[in-house]
Amino acid sequence: MHLRTTYPQLKLIIHLAATTMDFLMLLAVLSCLLAGMAFGRGYTKRARAQATTHHVSDPAVAHRALIENADQFFNRPRTSVPGSLAVWRNGERNDNIATVMYGPHLRVLRCNLTAEILSRLGSLAPLHEEAARALVADFSALCRGGGGEVAIREPLTTAVFALATRMCFGDIVDAGHRITMGEVIRQSIVLAGELTTSLGASMLSKLANWRRIRRIYTLLDRQVELYLPLIAARRQSQSQLCGNGGTVRPYIDTLLDLRVPDDGDAPAGRPLRRGELVALVFEFLGAATGSTATCVEWTLAHLIDQPEVQDKLRCEIDGEADAGGILSSKSLRGGMPYLNAVVQESLRMHPPVPVIVRSVHGEGAKAIGGMTAVPADGAMVVFNLGDIGRDHKTWTNPNKFQPERFLGGGEAEDIGPAPGPKEIRMMPFGAGHRHCPAVNMGMLHIKCFLAALVHEFDWTPSAAEDCSGGVDMTEQAGGFVKLMKKPLCARVTRRT
């Protein structure tokens, strides 16, 4: 009798609960959309104006646009995901070097990075030596524990991120905090890459991506929580410098002292806002880690595929390394032509950032060709760096890993990682006014870690995988950084 009288009540309760859950889900979606309005503010209007998108894979066209008409191609479209993320919930722009509009603000940020960090690369030697030794120790332990089978990406990324963290904050970041920071940055980069390919200008697109939008803001808030205590600690104790003997000033210290142009009348400028500091730290840590670790992984894959190249590179490294197996900063920066050739060939074939995006206005569009009508607010041009580096008109056997092409007498003996004024044949770090200012630092990082790993270990195909057709060089689709679709695993043996 009791069950019969309560059954209709139970049905009502279940119905009300289901209705309430649907309503709460709808509320969550609507709340996320409202919270994401700052993300999309002006996005739809500008995206419609920049609906004209032109893809460039021809090196000659890239040169005509980015070098000959550089003044027309100096901004990233504000409709891009990085540009949109620069607008936080408070409506203020919190730009980093990649997102800020071309002008005095950009020049101040770039000059600060160049003068305070990049012009003193020789002073990084103690940090590089310590980072290389730590990486070798980690791989030695993995060799012993895994029977020689090692998954490369995680320990490599950890070592590179540890170096980037020291350069940014000095020695105040403990291991646990650093691991958390690295994971949050990794998730942020992956999610931003997903949004780049899936987020459109319409409200329907925003609705479809509401979970990703909510997640990216959660990750941005988490970065604030992780960075601000470190920034506060550096603000109170800027006398502590990273590196043996205090030879390098941490990047965050330079940002705390920096004054950027103010929109008002203050002639001396203003200090960077909290959001700007967080954005610049995220950029420094993410860019320094992603490009270095990615290039080293791709390069090791090719060295495993071509053991004769590995042996030739090791011979050069052995001849330059000291008794402890360490290469001098001078050798890494100016000597060792084959090491430089190997790294450049890897960057040509696998630029860490697959595309760069620029906006173009008015007459500048003619540099691209094929564009007859450009909206008043400009058009978007996407430069495909991978296609440019493998152009069949420019390179002999462009899909073959052949470092000798960068040596004396080779077809690319005068080509560097940053294009010169005469031509573009590869541009792994961009070109023109907005090329990456940290080209030399990136090259130094890559050479440091690659040389240490080749000097200390033999690299052969994994016995656990079918490598009869060579290492799988398939690229992972999408994302900000062009990773190997199948993370590299190899048999690693410590040299005696």
Domain of 90: which CATH number?
1.10.630.10
Give me the sign of the Cα torsion angle 64, 70, 71, 73. positive
Binding-site members for heme are 436
Q: Using alpha carbons only, give the angle 455, 294, 161 rounded to the nearest 5 degrees.
A: 80
Structure-block tokens of residue 311 = 């042996």
Q: How far apart (Å, rounded) are the C-alpha atoms in residues 138 and 348?
A: 29
pLDDT of residue 23: 43
Residues 6+ apart with CB under 8 A from 460: 304, 307, 490, 491, 493
Confirm if 56 and 368 have CB atoms less than 8 A apart. yes
Confidence at residue 203, expressed as pLDDT on a 0 to 100 scale: 64
At 101 the pLDDT is 87
Cβ partners under 8 Å of residue 473, min gap 6 = 301, 305, 484
Would you state the structure tokens that stand for residue 175, as one six-digit string? 């291991």
C-beta atoms surrounding 478 within 10 Å:
14
**What total of structural domains would you count in the chain?**
1
Please tell me the pTM assigned to this model.
0.86
Residue 28 lies in a domain: no
Q: 273 phi and psi, to 5 degrees? A: -75, 165
150 belongs to a structural domain = yes
Q: Is there a domain that residue 43 lies in?
A: no
pLDDT at 95: 87
153 lies in which domain range? 52-494
Residue 71, pLDDT score: 87
Which pLDDT belongs to residue 397? Answer: 97
- Are residues 300 and 155 in contact, defined by beta-carbon separation less than 8 angstroms? no
**DSSP β-bridge partners for residue 484:** 475
Domain assignment present for 22: no
pLDDT of amino acid 209: 73
Structure tokens that stand for 191 in this block: 């999610």
Binding residues, as ranges, are 436
Backbone torsions φ then ψ of 5, nearest 5 degrees? -80, -30
Q: Tell me the pLDDT of the chain (496 aa) as tens digits.
A: 444 444 444 344 444 444 444 444 444 444 444 444 444 444 444 444 445 788 999 999 999 999 998 888 888 776 566 556 666 556 778 889 988 888 999 999 999 999 888 888 888 888 898 999 999 999 999 988 666 899 999 999 999 999 999 999 998 999 999 999 999 999 988 888 777 666 655 667 667 777 888 888 899 899 999 999 999 999 887 655 555 555 678 999 999 999 999 876 566 789 999 999 999 999 999 999 999 999 999 999 999 999 999 999 999 999 988 766 778 878 888 789 999 999 999 999 999 999 998 888 777 777 787 666 666 777 889 999 999 999 999 999 999 999 999 999 999 999 999 998 889 999 999 998 889 999 999 999 999 999 999 999 999 999 877 777 789 999 988 778 899 999 999 999 998 7
In a domain, 36, yes or no: no
Q: Is residue 46 part of a domain?
A: no
Does some domain include residue 33? no
Write down the pLDDT at residue 137: 94
Question: Does 167 map to a domain?
Answer: yes
